[in-house]
Amino acid sequence: MSGQRYQQLLADLRADYRPQREWGEGRGVLLVVGHFLVGIAGGTWLLSWWFGITAGLMTAVLLGGLGGLGHLAFLGRPERAFKMVRHWRTSWISRGFVGLTLFLAGGCLHLAFELAAPGGLAALIAGLAALAGTLTIIGYMGFTYTASKGVPFWNSPLHPVLYIAYAVRGGVAMLLVLAAFGHASGAALMPLWLVVTGLVALLFALELQGAAAGSDVAARRSVHDILAGRLAAIFYGGTLAIGLGVPLALGAAGGNYPVIMALVGLTSAAGDFFMKLSTVRAGVYRPLIVPRQRHRG
């Protein structure tokens, strides 16, 4: 038997630390894309709802739809996706699916009603449904990872908070892009972006620190993979440089130019994508035999 994926699988099964490769690699990238888009969608909806930016709401629904498609395309059996409603009692994926459905349906209806009769009750109900959906989808992702007991790195209770913070940062980023096109006011957004970015960075640093200092060898391995291993390039290049360095530099250079705002938004979002990609890919299964510590001397 040959084939690169197969060879990779055998190599992983042989390895002391077996990386998960189903989410985030190959077609699994679609899942990260899905999570990424849905996260931004949620954040965008929230902020747009708050600030009352209709273009933002529309963008959110659009991104949510695309994100949903990403999820679907990732599934081994997308034609059975409707079965995912079944187990909402315990499954975050199931909840996420219900939430996304609610969000998309509610969002579309809300926008339709708003278009037909602005300010009506139907629009409000639909909007609230979408809001409930939003809260579910921005929450579900983090919990999905936290519930993944096989991958200790993700088990941190910070993970859901982090994903919610991401969603907000994504929302801000999206609004920055929209602001560049005049659909929102940029003035309040840059400071907000800075605050949220600071929060995200803090949460992420705490999460890494927690994993690195914790007793779980697999989690430590994940941190190592991000900071100094197979994901370092994505992390330093994607997450830090593109997602943090570039927007900071751009913002300092002239945060009020529309082009720059858009660029800040886009690079910030790209950084989030890489951030998600690296944390997802850094997932290492809990080893069944704790690998021997290398003897020195």
Partner 1 sequence: MTAAECEHQQRLSSEPRAGDDVWIPSACALCYGSCSIQVHRVNGVAIKIEGNPESAVGKGRLCAKGVSGLMVHYDPNRLTKPLRRTNPVKEIGVDPGWKEISWEEALTEIVGHLKRIRAEDPRKLVIQRTTTVTANKNPFQAFAFGFGTPNLSVAGGGLHCGNGAHLISGIMHASWGILPDFQYCNYAMYFGASKGHSAGHASTSNMGMAADARARGMKLVVFDPMCNFAAAKATEWVPLRVGTDAAAALAIGNVIANDLGAIDAPYLKGKTNGPYLIGPDGRYVRDKDGKPLVWDLMAGAARPFDGAAADDMALEGSFEVDGVTCRPSFALLKEHLRQYTPEWAEKITTIPAANLRRIAEEFAREARIGSTIVIEGVTLPYRPVAAIAFRGNQGHRNSVYNFLAVDLLNHLVGAADVVGSCLGFPPVVDGHPDSGRPHYVPVATPDGLMEVGQWMGWHHPYPVEDPKLPKTLGLQGLFPMGMVSPFLDAPDREHWWERFGIEYRPEMLINFGANLLMSIANKDTMAASLAKYEFIVSIDLFLTETSDFVDIVLPDCSYLQSVDSRSNFPTIFSHPAGMGDWSWPIRQPVLPPDGEQRRFADVLLELAERTGFLPDMIAAFNAILELEPPYRLDGGRRYTYEEICDAELKHNFGPERGLEWFRENGVIRWKKKPQEVYWRPFLDVRVPIYWEWMPDIGEKAAALADPRGLEMPLEYYRPLPDWLPCHSHEVEKPGFDFFAFYYRDTLHTNSYTMENAWLDEAAQLDPFSYNVAINAEVARARGLANGDLVEIESDTGRKITGRLRLTECIHPEGLGIAALANHWAKGLPTAMGKGVFFNDLLELDWKRTSPVNLNLDLCVKVKVTRAAE
Partner 2 sequence: MRLGMVIDLRRCIGCYGCQLSCKAEHGTPPGVFFARVLKSEEGRYPTVRHLFLPVLCNHCDDAPCVEVCPTEASHYAEHGIVDIDQDKCVGCRACMMACPYGNRYFNGERRDYYPGAGPTVYETARTLRHPEGVVMKCNFCRDRLAEGKLPACVANCASTARYFGDLDDPNSQVSTLIKERGGFTLHPEAGTGPNVYYLPP
Which amino acid makes up residue 14? R
- Return the closest-CA partner of residue 273 out of 65, 42, 24: 24
Please name the residue that has the structure tokens 């949903």. 68
Which one of partner 1, partner 2, none interacts with residue 151, CB within 5 to 8 A by kind? partner 2
Return the bridge partners of 284, or none: 19
Q: How far apart are CA 140 and CA 164, in angstroms?
A: 9
Q: Least distance in Å: CB of 296 to partner 1? A: 9
Stretch 46-105 residues interacting with partner 2 (CB under 8 A): 74-78, 80-81, 83-88, 90-94, 97
Site for partner 2 in 151-190 (CB under 8 A): 151, 154
Q: Is 15 helix (H, G, I), strand (E, B) or coil?
A: coil
Interacting residues with partner 2 between 263 and 282 (CB under 8 A): none
Q: Which one of residues 13, 121, 252, 288 is an interface residue with partner 1 (CB under 8 A)?
A: 13
Work out how close the CB of 145 gets to partner 2 at its nearest, in angstroms, rounded to a whole number.
8
- Is residue 3 within the footprint of partner 2 (CB under 8 A)? yes
- Quickly list DSSP for 153-184: GGG-THHHHHHHHHHHHHHHHHHHHHHHTTSS
We find the least distance from the C-beta atom of residue 109 to partner 2, in angstroms, to be 24
**Segment interacting with partner 2, rule: CB under 8 A, options 102-110, 162-170, 176-184, 286-294:** 286-294
Buried b (16+ CB within 10 A) or exposed e, 207-243: bbebbeeeebbbbbbbbbbbeebebeebbbebbbebb
Nearer to partner 2, 62 or 81 (CB): 81
With CB under 8 A as the contact rule, the residue among 36, 113, 166, 285 that binds partner 2 is 285
Do you know the residue count of the chain? 297
Whole-angstrom distance, CA of residue 271 vs CA of residue 56: 20
Q: Which does 93 bind (CB under 5 to 8 A by kind): partner 2, partner 1, none?
A: partner 2
Q: Is 295 in the site for partner 1 (CB under 8 A)?
A: yes
User: Which of 1, 4, 119, 121 contacts partner 2 by CB under 8 A?
Assistant: 1
Instruction: Find which of partner 1, partner 2, none residue 273 binds, CB within 5 to 8 Å per kind.
Output: none
Report residue 166: phi and psi, to 5°: -55, -45
Indicate if the alpha-carbon torsion angle 202, 165, 194, 271 is positive or negative: positive
Find which of partner 2, partner 1, none residue 253 binds, CB within 5 to 8 Å per kind.
none
Candidates 14, 77, 80, 89; binder of partner 1 (CB under 8 A) is: 14
In terms of Cβ atoms closer than 10 Å to its own Cβ (0-12, 13-18, 19+), residue 32 is buried
Which residue ranges make up the site for partner 1 (CB under 8 A)?
1, 10, 13-14, 295
Which residue ranges make up the site for partner 2 (CB under 8 A)?
1-3, 5-6, 9-10, 13, 18, 20, 22-23, 74-78, 80-81, 83-88, 90-94, 97, 144-145, 147-151, 154, 283, 285-286, 288-289, 292, 295
